[in-house]
Amino acid sequence: MTSGFKSPRLQTTKSKTLSIAHATALTEQMELVFSEIEDPRAARTRAHLLTDILIIGILSVIAGGKGWEDMENYGLSKYDWLKQFLALPNGMPCPDTFRRVFERINPKVFERCFQRWVQSVVDTVGAQVIPIDGKTLKGSYNRQQGKSALHLVSAWASEHRLVLGQVKVTDKSNEITAIPALLELLDLAGCILTIDAMGTQTAIAATIYHAKADYVLALKANHPTLHRQVKDWFDQIIAQGFEGITHSYDERVEKGHHRTEKRQVWCVPISQLSPLYNQDDWVGLKCVVMVVRVRHLWNKTTREVQFYLTSLDCDARKLGQAIRLHWGVENGLHWTMDVTFSEDACRIRTGHAPQNLALLRRIALNALNLEQSLKRSNRQKSNRAAMDNNYMLTILSACFFQYDVSKSACQ
């Protein structure tokens, strides 16, 4: 008789596992990062440690959690593992505990801790082009309280795919007031900041220039006189073929996603133009730039003309790259927040919870982007972290072991 089918011997490989001692060391590093945050609860109600709540919240969001119930579910699912390096004196916090804590944590202190952590990481990778742009958390409105949706302005290091900082736009205000507050948080020396038309303001340009950084500011119709002057000048000079005009030119053609895009960049020193409207108010201004984008899609062709003011030298290739990298904040940050983390669908809207939870998502995004050993999408990395404790520790190691203990003291 035959013995039946023989099961092939499974070839297993022993993956390198990270020890509990390693997890404990990571926990200590994370505690240092957030040591400035004060527990907002009354002493008699502190059944759970603030550090436990913060760490479980971060791990949950990295693993794809969207809210308070997900934090509890993650904690209960991983309780035996978490208990090995977290205190958890009274078991796992309930969803209401997570909610109450994140509603009341001071968001400015939380953001300051985040910014110091990011600065420590950025010191090792060196941010260069930093787009600054705003995003509205569409689900954070509250009609009953007459509260509009939260709007955040973020700084994004496109080349390294890291959120460098965020600032809330105050009610009845706009990005013009939030951008200077964000700039104060950042070490800008040597960087190139790109900002859309809302931030094209003389005061913002001066702040960037005095911080020993450079700016590339979009010029649109919110500065009607200056915009019309620059547009008319370029129309005239292009018709003349730039004859006798010192300028720099660069051209790029890219294909992908069923479209072809041709980008032409012209850069001209301001010395070649007649005096611009209120030119002296633009501190450090050296050049004006025109970018023409022609996109050929399967069903139509579009043409867009955009103008910029910059403190950089006349180098169309460098300026074209900086302007192109500005869109990284839309694709790498805003799109990812909505698609991977479902930010716009989140209806958490009480207290400081929307702002603090948004910061947790940005911590998670940075952590996922810093981990490079698994060449997958952030969604797949998140799923892997939810299922594999060892990979979760790998993600945390990639970001929190870079934290400089000397920077943990309050500044």
Tell me: the pLDDT tens digits for 19-28? 788 888 989 9
Say what the pLDDT of residue 30 is.
92
Within-domain flag for 123: no
Q: Is the pLDDT of residue 350 over 50?
A: yes
Do 305 and 206 have their domain in common? yes
Do 289 and 383 have their domain in common? no
CA distance 16 to 394: 11
Say what the pLDDT of residue 171 is.
73
pLDDT in tens, 78-97: 999 999 999 999 999 999 99
pLDDT in tens, 199-247: 999 999 999 999 999 999 999 999 999 999 999 999 999 999 999 999 9
Mean pLDDT confidence for 30-42: 94
Say what the pLDDT of residue 187 is.
85
Within-domain flag for 227: yes
Confidence band (pLDDT; 50, 70, 90) for 172?
A: low
> Where a domain ends, among 313, 330, 362?
313
> Where a domain ends, among 286, 313, 340?
313
Say what the pLDDT of residue 253 is.
94
Q: Which residues have a Cβ under 8 Å from the Cβ of 261 and sit 6 or more positions away?
A: 253, 254, 255, 293, 294, 295, 296
> Where a domain ends, among 313, 341, 360?
313
CA distance 262 to 295: 6
Do 289 and 362 have their domain in common? no
pLDDT in tens, 175-199: 899 999 999 988 888 899 999 999 9
Q: Provide φ and ψ at 167, rounded to 5°.
A: -140, 135
Within-domain flag for 25: yes
Q: Which of 9-18, 35-44, 129-138 has the lowest mean pLDDT?
A: 9-18
Within-domain flag for 133: no
Strands 287-296 and 301-310: antiparallel
**Given its phi and psi angles, is residue 258 left (phi above 0), alpha (psi -120 to 50 degrees) or beta?**
left
Say what the pLDDT of residue 250 is.
96
CA distance 29 to 71: 21
Do 210 and 283 have their domain in common? yes
Helix/strand/coil for 192: strand
The length of the chain, given as a count of residues: 411
Do 290 and 379 have their domain in common? no
State the CB neighbour count (10 A cutoff) for residue 404.
14
Domain count along the chain: 2
When the pLDDT of each residue in the chain is averaged and rounded to a whole number, the result is: 90
Do 205 and 309 have their domain in common? yes
Q: Is the pLDDT of residue 65 over 70?
A: yes
Question: Which helix (DSSP H) or strand (DSSP E) does residue 292 occupy?
Answer: strand 287-296
Confidence band (pLDDT; 50, 70, 90) for 402?
A: low
Within-domain flag for 127: no
How much of the chain, in percent, has pLDDT values that exceed 90? Answer: 77
Within-domain flag for 34: yes
Do 307 and 223 have their domain in common? yes
Say what the pLDDT of residue 355 is.
96
Mean pLDDT confidence for 122-138: 83
**Residue 298 CA neighbour count, 13 Å, CB half:** 3
Residue 269 pairs in a beta bridge with: 287
Do 262 and 356 have their domain in common? no
pLDDT in tens, 197-208: 999 999 999 999
CA distances from 379 to 81, 127, 374, 376, 395 (A): 23, 24, 12, 8, 13
Confidence band (pLDDT; 50, 70, 90) for 18?
A: low
Host domain of residue 72: 20-109+350-407
State the CB neighbour count (10 A cutoff) for residue 307.
21
Within-domain flag for 397: yes
Within-domain flag for 119: no
Confidence band (pLDDT; 50, 70, 90) for 4?
A: very low
Confidence band (pLDDT; 50, 70, 90) for 31?
A: very high
DSSP one-letter string for 246-258 = --EEEEEEEEETT
Do 204 and 302 have their domain in common? yes
Say what the pLDDT of residue 71 is.
98
Mean pLDDT confidence for 287-297: 96
Q: What tokens appear for 18 in the block? A: 């990270």
Helix/strand/coil for 304: strand
| Higher pLDDT pick, 10 / 152 | 152
CA distances from 116 to 39, 112, 287, 403, 405 (A): 19, 6, 34, 9, 11
Do 309 and 359 have their domain in common? no
Do 207 and 309 have their domain in common? yes
Confidence band (pLDDT; 50, 70, 90) for 13?
A: very low
Confidence band (pLDDT; 50, 70, 90) for 17?
A: low
Q: What tokens appear for 162 in the block? A: 């890291």
Instruction: Indicate the DSSP class of residue 132.
Output: E
Do 37 and 90 have their domain in common? yes
